Structure 1
Amino acid sequence: MSSQFAQVIPRQVREDVEQAPQYTGSPWQLLVYDIKLFFRNILYLPLMFFPLAPWPSGPLDEQYPSLTNIFEISLHSILFVAQLGFLISLPLLVYLPVSMFGAYISGVLLVNFAVCRLLNRGIPEDGLKSTEDEFSQGWKRHDDERWIFLNGICVGKNWLQSNVDRLSRTFHRPIVGVHNKTSGVVFDIVQCLIQRSLLFATPDVRECYTLVKKALYEPGVKRVVLILHSQGGIEGGMIVDWLLNEVPQDLLQYLEIYTFGIIANHFSNPYRDVFSHTKQGGLMENGDSTRRRHNRAISHIEHYANSNDFASRFGVLHFIKQAPTHPLKNRFMGKVFINPRSGHQLNQHYLDSMFPLDPTNRFTREPQTGDFMDLKVFIEGQSPRGEPLQHDENYMVSARSQVKKGLRIFTADTVNEAGVSNLSPVLSPTESRVWKEDVEISRPRAPFQLRTRDVSRLWQYRNGGRPM
């Protein structure tokens, strides 16, 4: 795809690829499948760290040459070489006595823990909060919202603080970061394989689950936003599964989830009732319109992915293209936005590209030519009527209700503006907190010039904004 276009996948699409085992199936089958998928995309692994520059957010960018960043990158480089050498050495040392072999493994893990402690220490038990100063104290208050962030691989305290501060400056809200501790890039990837295969819940999964659940039950809170990055997507998927088991459906409607470069193999969001789940006596196609509003348990899910990011290809970009053929098969729910670039770092490769800050590093600037949010959008999959959606400008993604009121649609033959009527019914006062259902735009006679920002709900939160 040309670099001048963004791609949006509004629902799972079916491609002729090997279907993954269901995530509740045999852990050994899952592990073997994940290892095969890992090596299938291994050439993209170095692209997780590129481009190395520029650094639009300055010291907040992970690879900015500050003393703290250089120190952490140096530690990660040492850990990478040591851990890779350790894994390679294991088959070569099997001839050793069990006691010596065990002592070798214990010694390496103990040294690794000591080095990683330099990266992970100093996180408060109630999470790492975004920095407050005189500027942030002047932001518009959103006391009825709670914003929670769960980080990905290779993140120590310094980068977690940079992540929550960058998110806070983008959306002008206080952010609480739950720390998914790093064990070094190689061991973190191994942990991802184990978590996906065994549904292994580390302490940070349990801490984040408790924090989200507490926020949903908190009186007066009308919106809980959970932001996930990288490995945090695997853990966030488990958290969602737990919430679906424990939290009443009306409270779950307060929850919104936004992810970046996640490695998850499923993301659940079931229908809320049997009517929505069935169509003419049979199982509905995933995402088909039921003419009933808010028919999903979680009100809104959006995934953002770089097309050449190894983590995205190993996770969201692979599993979004495996639409289930049976109700027991995996679901990967949520709209996916694909940026045609590489890189995996949250600040430098995702937020700087999708939500660039102005020169003061305090406000998200308006999109300029070439920015992700200014790109024209292609859609992939099928229309609600079952028509194939091709890679041309004759098919464009659906626009949300309150966006379309001021939406400008240009055709190839004219420059006349056309409004889009409000097709959705007005929400009742009790439903006003729930995001309005997407309205599909019919195929036009000439191409739309619809931009990414027109269909991104998260974009409307920038600088303290709030979707209506």
Structure 2
Amino acid sequence: MSLIRLFRRDPSSTPLPYTASPLLLFFRDILLLLRYSWALPGILLPLRLGHTTPLDELYLSFGSLISFLVQVVLTIAQIAFLVSIPLMVIFQLPAFWIFVYIAIALALNYAVCMFVLNGFERILVSNVPEPKQQGHEGECWFFINGVANSQYWLQNNIDQLAYSFGRKITGIHNRTAGLIFDLIECLIQRCFSYATGDIRSAYYLLKRELLNPNCDKVVMILHSQGGIEGSLVIDWLLDELPQDLLHKLEVYTFGNAANHFNNPRQSSTCQPIVRSIGHIEHYANSQDAVSHLGVLHFTNVPNRYLGRLFIRPGSGHMMNQHYLDNMFTLGPDHKVLESNEFMDMEVDMTWSESDKLLNKRDENREMTLLPIPNIEISNSSESRQSNGTQAWRVKDFSRLWQYRNGGTPGRAPGLRQENDRSLL
């Protein structure tokens, strides 16, 4: 029986606090990148070129081909640029000409990215017609994309999200500067808590809607580097907004690259435990290198990475092609199918003696079942409980799944979560 553990890690590999020295964090992140270099090919695999849909990143359309080819050229050029600078210093070229060379290279890179990949609009809205359903009037949904995302790909992301959940999706464009420069930006954002323009835009939009009395729910969906940006936005919101407004916020991440995700308890004496943000869920592919650098590496550090975690056995990091297509599969009518391999996987609730000790001393864990288990996901029918009781599946624990096709989450029977209101 093949099982993927969701809540277990080697205690000896506890990462540095995210508030540690930025330079030390930067150094440790480089080592972490080398540690998980084996998983880097899994970012683009499987390609599925014969089974892609028009909204997938590698679908053979003009926009996708331009986005992909320009990123390939930029990646080669940026590697050559970074290698050339120390060589120029070694050969003692005049400092003036080195600075001129750097300025011209960065200006050309910026021009290509802005005019070919990014465009000049930072905020995009889904082009999918909204279904006429009651109860969505007070909801605001936002999406922040990951690295190397052109405006064309971002539009496809928010359109597929709109089809999947039956809501208008506002995309906040995390503009690309080319893959290599994007990765450097990730390290700077993550280690130095540096707020780029898209982070400030996201903070402004979310804060505005959380303060809006006509908005009763704000949903933020994050992918890859968007997880880093979203975690910084949350830190700012926790600093400034009252708890009752923050509880309107729900966060769902895919391939999250952040090194922390905060959601403090409203009160140390509150039972059942109620946290500031209404709900947080993380979705990750088990062989996704970015997930290993983020959510899968940090999630079990106490009070470091709050939220429920779902791991899908498999590789791939692209939002539509590897995450949404597998977890919220669309049918020919652009409706989410009621069954897919991941959501139908059985959940086996078991826990070891060491896990019991961990759970006893860690009273602030985000996810609590009764009793507190380790959760394992299995794609084997052998995990069905032999005593005849109901076999729980991934879809029974996923709140985001209940939003599919314009739905609204309800209460799951027989279980409870620390984040009250309902399990899901």
SS in 2 for 1:466: coil
SS in 1 for 2:177: coil
Contact 2:52/2:58 (<8 A) preserved? no
SS in 1 for 2:309: strand
Distance in 2 between residues matched to 1:182 and 1:85, nearest whole Å: 18
TM value normalised by structure 2: 0.86
Q: Which of 367, 387, 396 lines up with 1:454 in the alignment?
A: 396
What is the aligned-residue RMSD (CA, Å)? 2.4
Q: Which residue of 2 aligns with 1:166?
A: 160
Residue pairs, 1:16-415, within 5 angstroms = 16-54=11-49, 58-94=53-89, 95-117=92-114, 118-123=116-121, 127-133=123-129, 136-140=130-134, 142-276=136-270, 292-321=271-300, 323-324=301-302, 331-360=304-333, 362-368=334-340, 371-378=341-348, 386=356, 398=369, 411-414=385-388
Contact 2:348/2:392 (<8 A) preserved? no
Contact 1:168/1:175 (<8 A) preserved? yes
Offset from partner CA, 1:173-199 (integer Å, 9 cap, x none)? 000000100011111111111111110
Distance in 2 between residues matched to 1:380 and 1:102, nearest whole Å: 60
Contact 1:6/1:372 (<8 A) preserved? no
Structure 2 residue identity aligned to 1:107: I
- What's the CA shift for 1:112? 0.8
- What's the CA shift for 1:138? 3.6
Contact 1:57/1:352 (<8 A) preserved? no
Contact 1:45/1:309 (<8 A) preserved? yes
Structure 1 residue identity aligned to 2:409: P
Contact 1:116/1:182 (<8 A) preserved? yes
Distance in 2 between residues matched to 1:273 and 1:383, nearest whole Å: 29
- What's the CA shift for 1:140? 4.7
SS in 2 for 1:456: coil
Aligned sequence identity (%): 44
Offset from partner CA, 1:421-454 (integer Å, 9 cap, x none)? xxxxxxxxxxxxxxxxxxxxxxxxxxx6221101
Contact 2:218/2:249 (<8 A) preserved? yes
Distance in 1 between residues matched to 2:149 and 2:384, nearest whole Å: 44
In structure 1, the gaps of 5 or more residues are: 277-291, 325-329, 390-395, 400-408, 419-447
Offset from partner CA, 1:289-318 (integer Å, 9 cap, x none)? xxx135211121100001111110010000
TM value normalised by structure 1: 0.78
Contact 1:172/1:463 (<8 A) preserved? yes
Structure 2 residue identity aligned to 1:98: A
The structure-2 alpha-carbon separation of the partners of 1:38 and 1:381, relative to structure 1 and needing over 3 Å to count, comes to: farther
Contact 1:178/1:204 (<8 A) preserved? yes
- What's the CA shift for 1:221? 1.7
- What's the CA shift for 1:16? 2.8
Q: Which residue of 1 aligns with 2:379?
A: none
Distance in 2 between residues matched to 1:191 and 1:116, nearest whole Å: 15
Q: Which residue of 1 aligns with 2:421?
A: none
Deviates more, 1:113-122 or 1:379-388: 379-388
Q: Which residue of 2 aligns with 1:403?
A: none
Contact 1:398/1:455 (<8 A) preserved? no
Structure 2 residue identity aligned to 1:374: D
Q: Which residue of 1 aligns with 2:414?
A: none
- What's the CA shift for 1:30? 0.6
Q: Which residue of 2 aligns with 1:432?
A: none
Distance in 2 between residues matched to 1:14 and 1:51, nearest whole Å: 27
Distance in 1 between residues matched to 2:277 and 2:368, nearest whole Å: 21
- What's the CA shift for 1:212? 0.7
SS in 2 for 1:51: coil
Structure 1 residue identity aligned to 2:127: T
Structure 1 residue identity aligned to 2:117: L
Distance in 2 between residues matched to 1:7 and 1:337, nearest whole Å: 10
Distance in 1 between residues matched to 2:295 and 2:163, nearest whole Å: 26
Contact 1:308/1:340 (<8 A) preserved? yes
- What's the CA shift for 1:387? 5.9
Deviates more, 1:147-156 or 1:294-303: 294-303
